[in-house]
Structure 1
Amino acid sequence: MELDVNVHLKYQLPAPADLLLQIEIADLADQKLQWSKLDTSDVDHMAHVTADDGLGERIWIRTDGEFRCDYTARVIVDRPVLDISALEAVPPHLLPGDTVRYLMPSRYCPSDEFQSFVAAEFGDLQGGARIAAMRDWINTSFSYVPGSSNAQTTALDSFVQRQGVCRDYAHVLIALARASTIPARFASVYAPGVTPPDFHAVAEVFLDGTWHLIDATGMASADTMARIGIGPDAAGVAFLSVFGQITLLEQTVSVTV
């Protein structure tokens, strides 16, 4: 699938500040970047650095006053949609070293708090069948409510409230997967059909020796997503981290087939 991505961001900074931006599509074997262009207002400093696990890049920016950023790209996504329920889990002692960190609780995914629930609700299922059941449970049990969560909302908060946005759906699935001893991480992606149009968040789980994208909101399938970056949770892969003060003026994200 060929996707066109257009992002426009505008902010006001009252004083010089450092920004860590992650909005560029990662060029990978299953998503080949055809072309891209990043255009910003004048800044004091700009440098690309490698993102988590070497998947994609972040950009350090030093600026003040009005900051504008426009990003356009075209990417070809060549990724099959697999039946997750048919995939096997990898026994913990056979997991590759770089997946182990994604078994552990993290800031927004306190997976150790979910072990009793997972055992009671999904204990008769294993591997991908359990992941599929947990995905479906979240999709049917939660309400997608823009504005119902904030930057402090954890998977446990969302679990109690039974509502949230894509970020929250991903956090809950990640926490449930880790509580099942299945590595899971947070993926920031672009995908068409997301409502409202925005940066999208999904989970990525390690089954049958590789990573698989899973959207508990049901808005996107694996063959329509272009990864931006990955991390233990939203804190590690925010599209913008600000070390200073900033005010949002404009933000639009468009993804078309």
Structure 2
Amino acid sequence: MPANPQRLAITVTLDYTLPCPASVLMQIAAARLPDQQVTMETLDIGGLPPAIHVAAHGGIGERSWLTPQSALQVFYQAEVEITREVVPLANLFADALTVLPADAIEYLLPSRYCPVDTLHAASMEMFGNLAGGAAVEAACDWIGSHLCYVPGASHGGTTAIDTFHSREGVCRDYAHLLVTLVRAIGIPARVVSAYAPGVNPPDFHALAQVWLAGDWHLVDATGMADPAQTAIVGIGRDAADISFLTIFGSAELNAQAVSVVLL
């Protein structure tokens, strides 16, 4: 355990108006993991019928079904203690593909926002001469030096190949591009939704996990989140698996706020 565990206070407020009743799949609760403990948690769903909780993608974290009629008002608070050991990526080797655990294999493959096959040649040309964590660090450094963080530069359909060409985006675009480039050189990688202090603007944050030396390791291509101070919410192949709200209908945003404070 780290000598100095990190403690976060998290507050989320969501306020939406719905023109018609809808089912909503929400994933905003910090996951309970061996290296992060949820020590306090409250969820107020504004008088809606009790939520139905189901396991999230990969069994990490929890999703909640809500059934609002005309309004969705959610208030979430939590305190999380993080005891995550963070090691330099450059020291980590890449596992042979034939010994990967079964649940890591899907994170080698193309997905909706991560067209691995399209970027394979470019990734091999840029990073194929490196191995393991050194290759991941090089891809992260390349993204950091070639992309500009521009709120509003992307939309719900933006893929990693779009970001590769436009050289701008937000955290999910950075994560999608890193995941795609890393998968293309044979290292499993997945997208992570999380809370972290220092994210600007404050919001739900997206970063990546890479499989090296027999375990998953957090990497943030934006450079805003410290893995030792990051509370994981969920994981997935790409943003489609980690959305904080999936509304099966339509809704209008009134207000949304995320606060993450290091205690």
2:109 aligns to what?
104
| Larger strand percent | 1
Gaps spanning 5+ residues in structure 1: where?
Answer: none
Q: Please say if 1:63 is aligned against 2:68.
A: yes
Percent of residue pairs identical:
47
Q: 2:42 aligns with which of 37, 43, 59?
A: 37
Q: Deviations over 1:18-73 (max 9, x none)?
A: 00000000011100110100001122452000011110100001111121000000
Matched-pair contact (CA < 8 Å) for 1:12–1:64: no
Q: Deviations over 1:144-198 (max 9, x none)?
A: 0000001000000000000000000000000001101110001000000000000
Contact (CA 8 Å) 1:45, 1:63: kept in 2 or not? no
Separation in 2, partners of 1:176, 1:156: 10
1:189 aligns with 2:188: no
Structure 2 length-normalised TM: 0.96
Partner AA of 1:59 in structure 2: S
Partner residue of 2:98 out of 74, 77, 93: 93
* 2-structure distance, mates of 1:80, 1:166: 23
Which residue is equivalent to 1:254?
A: 259
Q: What is the alpha-carbon distance in structure 1 between the residues aligned to residue 67 and residue 188 of structure 2?
A: 35
Shift of 1:85: 1.1
In the TM superposition, what is the alpha-carbon distance from 1:221 to its structure 2 partner?
A: 1.5
- Within-5 A mapping of 1:1-257: 1-44=6-49, 46-257=51-262
| TM-score when normalising by structure 1 | 0.99
CA contact (8 A) 2:151 2:170 kept: yes
Q: Which runs of 5+ in 2 are unaligned?
A: 1-5
2-structure distance, mates of 1:123, 1:227: 30
**Secondary structure of 1:16's aligned partner:** coil
Distance in 2 separating the partners of 1:114 and 1:158: 11
Give the root-mean-square deviation of aligned CA atoms: 0.7
- Structure 1 runs (4+) deviating above 3 angstroms are none
Does the aligned pair in 1 maintain the 2:95–2:212 contact within 8 Å? yes
Secondary structure of the corresponding residue to residue 110 of structure 2:
coil
